[in-house]
Chain A
């Protein structure tokens, strides 16, 4: 890839971020509900108290001025104080981000591990029972709502069979000093296999719930790609050469059939960020998605603005990664 293209890509990020900032700011401003009122709702407060809080939050200034301050501060990496935590937004988000990254990565790996073999098998056994089952499975995968599927998994594996925990990220007995802040990796690095097993047992159900819709999509993509490749001349040639079926399938065909799957996976990872909000709430997973949902409900403007910007950057970067992966896997394509 040429360095010029890279710079061009990064330059594209700026208008996107500015646009996102404007949209989020306007949407939050137009949403009914007042953070001061919400904060004081538990016990009726005096008007003086409400005024003092409004001043503390900067809400007594005109909207345009608030937006100017927000943009100015954001450029220097300062996102202000979270209304409700009364601490820097940056700190609050940083505390919750690792859990979301860990869950998203686990879901991504799980989705790939399910969809690639399943897609290949479905393509090879086209229109046979396995293929039909995979199709039905995919249909369920994209249609089942995450909150429902998550609860069913909890009732089945945690309440009835008691194999896995209901919620949380790690047992309290495990105190692993942070390195990467991803619990599974840290517990391995610290030489605590017991904590690794515990972290994994907490991770399985939420990751599965999150991975399911993505696995469904990727299975269909993988199947279609595989069918396409299996029809191409070089496969016919390889068969004519008398190579073993297994070798043709997994060495020659899959390599090319992976291209669309991997690129779609990179883009779909962005949509996992949305799924996170539901899954983290159901499984009490201490990640960013839940924090953002809670913050939207209480009109915590600074936190929502910063988090949405973070999501936008991530989404753009993931698209970028998808493009790079595409060129790497398919050298004929140049950015």
Chain B
């Protein structure tokens, strides 16, 4: 047995140590792609893989600014109309040129009911209230909306452009496993459940001109290897089998840092955590009680001890990376004495009983929050419930019977229209604090139709100041995404939208 092992090991080692002519980058990834059809899934991990094979009309730079990719530029004509100039000279992997017709086809497939051989795209609402997509001339495509939706450009990086001729040839079932994109890599082989092997596309147009370096991909081959188990993924990185891993568990950070060949890379995520306070009911209808709750929480301690330092504290709704983020919001500093005083002023000198709802996954963090609230006199009981049940209870159409709700809201577009409006505008679908402030509503409505982006940002900044003062929530934190990266990788940075773009990554 051991002899056999040694012999095998010898053969393998010899095979691996043979001089590698081609440079190869391997990503240890949590999940396999569900499909390679850009329009037929609703999964970040699948999108991450597809995004290396297909390019989009727009994309984001490292600072999360939206920039043109297959488009050359875009212009908002009025709140309902956007014109996109299409880049010329781009070819698909099969060598055919990309045209305005492909763009129109791609977005009709995404937005029309039953457009994918009878199926409707699960990504339809990510393109928003699009009424029509039309070719104006060979170089221009016009999007017409049925209502104002200022985040259309911020949402377009989520969609990739497919070839009309190819899709019509292979059909929607064919597009699930066969690819013909315009991206920096073309598919070599998809070993289902095991790996996705890609090689550099030599006919690549170079990618977004605003994101240097422009040109072909750096490595000859890029491979996504599916390793779902955390411990195995970390082991594969430490053993040098893969160069980048996603979802590095926080407790393994030390191990990766201690290894001389690997390092940890962190980036802010896009999900805001908060405790929605029931603004429609005692005791949290009183702003003094809400302020007291915010002062009761020692955020730094929770982030340090429970989250092992992998989150950034927030004083408002939005991520520091988001459009229109206001960096000047005052923080509610941890101050238990002042919190007790505010409670007494509000008419609760002996404290008050309250409950906090949470899902099982967040139990530990919620208990930390609850114990801090209890210390200042808001005696908090933790109720663990099931996600869909809790969402129904805390829906703005619900009974408004709860006290507090530990929850979160994802903001992949990094635009306030996709988080601020749904969670804090009066009666909107995610407003679980039942917050209502006419001034905030007016600012959000004005921002929704404002064409001047600087003015739009200002409107959101003003609204953030009001929300910070009203404190409808206990403002918590934004978790960071952790990556383990081999030191032989250069030119690659993790990105806040959790995509792994391998175009610029090189290996030594």
Indicate whether A60 reaches chain B with its CB closer than 8 angstroms.
no
The digit string for A136-165, where 1 denotes a CB below 8 A from any CB of B, is: 000000000001000100110011001111
What B residues does A281 contact at CB under 8 A? 228-229
A49 in contact with B11 given A42-B410, A84-B43, A286-B194 (CB within 8 Å): no
Number of residue pairs A-B, CB distance < 8 angstroms: 171
Residue of A85, A171, A283 touching B34 (CB-CB under 8 A): A85
What A residues does B229 contact at CB under 8 A? 147, 151, 167, 281-284
Indicate whether B5 reaches chain A with its CB closer than 8 angstroms.
yes
Q: How far is the CB of A298 from chain B (nearest CB, A)?
A: 10
What B residues does A175 contact at CB under 8 A? 189
CA distance A162 to B236 in the complex (A): 11
When the two chains form their complex, are residues B176 and A166 in contact, meaning their CB atoms are under 8 A apart? no
When the two chains form their complex, are residues B12 and A197 in contact, meaning their CB atoms are under 8 A apart? yes
What B residues does A154 contact at CB under 8 A? 231-232, 235
What A residues does B15 contact at CB under 8 A? 171, 173, 194, 197-198
When the two chains form their complex, are residues B232 and A283 in contact, meaning their CB atoms are under 8 A apart? yes
Indicate whether B286 reaches chain A with its CB closer than 8 angstroms.
no
A284 in contact with B225 given A49-B125, A172-B197, A194-B15 (CB within 8 Å): yes
What B residues does A87 contact at CB under 8 A? 35, 173, 176
What B residues does A287 contact at CB under 8 A? 193
When the two chains form their complex, are residues B9 and A163 in contact, meaning their CB atoms are under 8 A apart? yes
When the two chains form their complex, are residues B193 and A56 in contact, meaning their CB atoms are under 8 A apart? no
Q: How far is the CB of B129 from chain A (nearest CB, A)?
A: 9
When the two chains form their complex, are residues A44 and B239 in contact, meaning their CB atoms are under 8 A apart? no
A286 in contact with B113 given A172-B223, A200-B8 (CB within 8 Å): no
Residue of A33, A42, A164 touching B412 (CB-CB under 8 A): A42
What B residues does A163 contact at CB under 8 A? 5-6, 8-9, 12-13
Residue of B35, B37, B113 touching A52 (CB-CB under 8 A): B113
What B residues does A92 contact at CB under 8 A? 192
The digit string for B350-363, where 1 denotes a CB below 8 A from any CB of A, is: 00000000000000
When the two chains form their complex, are residues A166 and B195 in contact, meaning their CB atoms are under 8 A apart? no
Band of interface residues on A? 35 or more
CA distance A283 to B225 in the complex (A): 12
| Chain A, Cβ-Cβ closest to B227 | A284
Q: How far is the CB of A127 from chain B (nearest CB, A)?
A: 26
When the two chains form their complex, are residues B191 and A42 in contact, meaning their CB atoms are under 8 A apart? no
Residue of A46, A95, A200, A283 touching B125 (CB-CB under 8 A): A46
Residue of A52, A165, A197, A283 touching B241 (CB-CB under 8 A): A165
Residue of B6, B193, B231 touching A286 (CB-CB under 8 A): B193
When the two chains form their complex, are residues B122 and A48 in contact, meaning their CB atoms are under 8 A apart? no
What B residues does A44 contact at CB under 8 A? 409-410, 422, 429-430
When the two chains form their complex, are residues A43 and B410 in contact, meaning their CB atoms are under 8 A apart? yes
| Chain B, Cβ-Cβ closest to A99 | B193
Considering only CB atoms and an 8 Å cut-off, how many residues of chain B contact the other chain? 60
When the two chains form their complex, are residues B232 and A198 in contact, meaning their CB atoms are under 8 A apart? no
A33 in contact with B43 given A43-B410, A99-B193, A291-B193 (CB within 8 Å): no
A39 in contact with B122 given A168-B194, A194-B11 (CB within 8 Å): yes
> Which residues of chain B (1-51) have a CB below 8 Å from chain A?
5-6, 8-9, 11-13, 15-16, 24, 31-32, 34-35, 37, 40-44
A84 in contact with B41 given A154-B235, A284-B225 (CB within 8 Å): yes
What B residues does A49 contact at CB under 8 A? 122, 124-125
Residue of A169, A194, A294 touching B194 (CB-CB under 8 A): A169
When the two chains form their complex, are residues B124 and A52 in contact, meaning their CB atoms are under 8 A apart? yes
Indicate whether B120 reaches chain A with its CB closer than 8 angstroms.
yes
> Which residues of chain B (199-245) have a CB below 8 Å from chain A?
221, 223, 225-229, 231-232, 235-236, 238-239, 241
Indicate whether B388 reaches chain A with its CB closer than 8 angstroms.
yes
Residue of B16, B24, B193, B221 touching A290 (CB-CB under 8 A): B193
CA distance A282 to B226 in the complex (A): 11
A42 in contact with B44 given A49-B124, A172-B223, A281-B229 (CB within 8 Å): yes
Q: How far is the CB of B382 from chain A (nearest CB, A)?
A: 19
Spell out A's residues near B (CB within 8 Å).
32-34, 37, 39-40, 42-49, 52-53, 55-56, 84-87, 92, 95-96, 99, 147, 151, 154-155, 158-159, 162-173, 175, 194, 197-198, 200-201, 204, 281-284, 286-287, 290-291, 294
The 8 closest A-B pairs by CB, nearest first: A286-B193, A286-B194, A163-B9, A49-B125, A197-B11, A166-B236, A284-B227, A95-B192
A-B pairs with beta carbons under 8 Å apart, 17 shown: A40-B122, A42-B410, A43-B42, A44-B430, A56-B119, A56-B122, A86-B34, A87-B35, A99-B194, A155-B235, A163-B8, A165-B12, A167-B232, A201-B8, A284-B227, A286-B191, A290-B193
- Beyond A87-B176, A154-B232, 15 additional contacts (C-beta under 8 Å) are A33-B388, A37-B388, A40-B42, A40-B122, A42-B44, A86-B119, A86-B122, A99-B193, A159-B235, A163-B12, A167-B227, A169-B191, A197-B12, A201-B8, A204-B8
